[in-house]
Amino acid sequence: MKGMETNWFWEFVTPHFIQQFSISDILYTGESEYQSIQVLDSPGFGKCLILDGKIQCSEFDEFIYHEALVHPVMIAHPKPETVFVAGGGEGATLREVLAHRSVKKAVMVDLDKQVVDVCRQHLPFLSDGAFDDGRTELLRLDAMKYLEETELRFDVVIIDLTEPLEEGPAYLLYTKEFYRGLLDRLAPGGMMSLQAGSTSMVISYGFSAVIRTLRTAFEMVAPYLTEVPAFGGTWGFAVASRDVDPTRLSPDEVDGRIAERVSKPLRFYDGVTHQGIFSLPKQLRTEMASDTRIITKDQPLFTY
C-alpha cells in the first residue's frame, strides 16, 4: 500500500496471537546480563522500551499504566511516608511515587542496572528527575533478597516487574512464598500494589492466578484493570493489604486526597476513574471465581 510504513515491531502475545506497530527508528539495542533491551521510536506510540521482545511502556500512554499502578494504593493509604519499588527500571513508577508530598523515603531496587542507564540516556522523560530526588535510594539488587534481608518496613510496596518469562529474572516474585514474605516488610497499616498481567480475553489466565495467589497471603485483595493501548488491550493490577479496602473510597474522597497530597496534575487517575477501574467485567469475574491455581516456587507461572 502506497505510503505504508515497512518497518514493524512484532510482539508474540501467545502462539496464536501477535500484535504489531510500525517503527521509524531504532534508538538503542543491546543485551544486558539478564535480558535484551531495545528503545524504538514509533509514529503511533512515540519512544518505546522493549525488554525481551515485550513492550514495557510507550511515550504515548505510559501515564495510564504508571498512574494506575501507583496512585490507587498511595491514595488508599492514610499517609504513605516510606515506599519500596521493585523493578520499574525506567523510573516512571518512582516518578509517580515521589509526586506524593507525604513520601520521605523511596527505595527502588532493580536487578538490571543497564535498563536504568539506557532509560536515563534515551528516555529521560520517564523518570523526570526521580533518580536524582533526595528521597530516592536506588539499589542494584535482587528484590526478593533485599526484602528478605532488610530490617526496614514500608508503608507501601509497589511491584513493577516484567512478565514472568521462563528465562526471565522476575518469575519468583509472582509466587505465594514471595507474597507471604512481603507481609513482614509492611509497616502497620501497610499496603502493596502490583501489575498483574493482561486481562485481555486471549491471555487472562495469568491475571486470575496472580489474584488467587495474592489471596493466600493478604486478607484484602482488590483487583482492577484499565486499557493500555500499547499493550494491546486491558491490563490488570491489584491492591492488597491486611484490612484496607480501596474500593470503599468515594470519588469525592479520592479527589480530596489527590488535591491535598499530590504535587502535580494527573492525566489519568481521579475519583471517577478510581471507581471505574475496580468494576471488572462479568466474564473476567467468572474466570477468576473458577481458577484454582496457586503460584509457588515449585509450580511457577510462566507467560509467553
**Cβ–Cβ under 8 Å, residues 159 and 128:** no
Q: Dihedral of the CA atoms 28, 31, 34, 40 (nearest 10)?
A: 20
Backbone angles phi, psi at 153, to 5 degrees: -120, 145
The H or E element containing residue 48 is: strand 46-51
Region for 227 from its dihedrals, namely left if φ exceeds 0, alpha if ψ lies in -120 to 50, beta otherwise: beta
- Mode of pairing for the β-strands spanning 54-58 and 46-51: antiparallel
Q: Which residues pair with 18 in a beta bridge?
A: 12
**Cβ–Cβ under 8 Å, residues 242 and 215:** no
Among the options 25, 160, 245, 298, which is catalytic? 160
36's CB contacts (< 8 A; 6+ apart) are 29, 30, 50, 51, 52, 53
One-character DSSP codes across 27-40:
EEEEE-SS-EEEEE
| CA gyration radius, the chain | 18
Amino acid at 13: V
Please report how many Cα atoms fall inside a 13 Å half-sphere around the Cα of residue 215, on the Cβ side: 15
20's CB contacts (< 8 A; 6+ apart) are 8, 9, 10, 11
Q: Is 160 a catalytic residue?
A: yes
Which residue numbers are catalytic? 160
